């Protein structure tokens, strides 16, 4: 009986250590590639939050759909598209703002690290009721 209790305790300690190691390794910061391979974003700290900017575009272009007409001639490369992402109650998830250059709108956004190499990015409307997103892959 004592041996089985010690074995169970050792097994439980192993699970705790393994899950702690996984959560420490699970970091959203880094470079991420869109599923279509058309762009790459770098997620990094900006104060107490996470932000992301475009660091590579397969086809460079200007921010032609920006609601501010004076910014429409600026290149998208270097634009901050993920803003003020702060941790939520859900593990490995952050909430902030996401700029969609395709329509020039900024949405309530979420990023969620679904694995060490996968980052789900969503833009939402109606208070998060309707969301659309895609899963990005960590760049090597």
What is 3-72 written as a DSSP string?
Answer: HHHHHHHHHHHHHHHHHHHHHHH----EEEE-TTSSEEEEEEEETTEEEEEEEEESS--B-TT-SSGGGT
Q: In this structure, is residue 107 part of a structural domain?
A: yes
Q: In this structure, is residue 8 part of a structural domain?
A: no
Q: In this structure, is residue 15 part of a structural domain?
A: no
Q: In this structure, is residue 12 part of a structural domain?
A: no
Contact 113, 28 (CB under 8 A): yes
Q: In this structure, is residue 9 part of a structural domain?
A: no
pLDDT in tens, 21-76: 344 345 999 999 999 999 999 999 999 999 999 999 999 999 999 999 999 999 99
The predicted model scores a pTM of 0.79
Q: What is the CATH number of the domain that holds 103?
A: 2.40.128.520
Closest alpha carbon to 139 in 35, 50, 17, 25: 35
| Count of structural domains, the chain | 1
What is the domain range of residue 108? 27-138
Q: In this structure, is residue 6 part of a structural domain?
A: no
Q: What's the CA gap between 112 and 104, in Å, rounded?
A: 23
pLDDT for res 26 = 59
Q: In this structure, is residue 108 part of a structural domain?
A: yes
């Amino acid at each position: 009986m004592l041996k089985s209790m010690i074995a169970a305790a050792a097994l439980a300690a192993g699970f705790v250590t393994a899950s702690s190691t996984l959560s420490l390794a699970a970091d959203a910061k880094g470079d991420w590639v869109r599923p279509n391979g058309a762009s790459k974003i770098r997620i990094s700290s900006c104060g107490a939050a996470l932000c992301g900017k475009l660091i590579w575009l397969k086809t460079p272009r200007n921010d032609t759909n920006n609601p501010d007409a004076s910014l429409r001639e600026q290149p998208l490369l270097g634009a901050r598209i993920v803003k003020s992402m702060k941790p939520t109650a859900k593990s490995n998830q952050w909430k902030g703002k996401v700029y969609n250059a395709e329509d020039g709108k900024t949405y309530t956004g979420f990023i969620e690290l679904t694995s060490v190499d996968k980052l789900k990015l969503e833009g939402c409307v109606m208070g998060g009721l309707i969301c659309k997103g895609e899963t990005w892959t960590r760049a090597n």
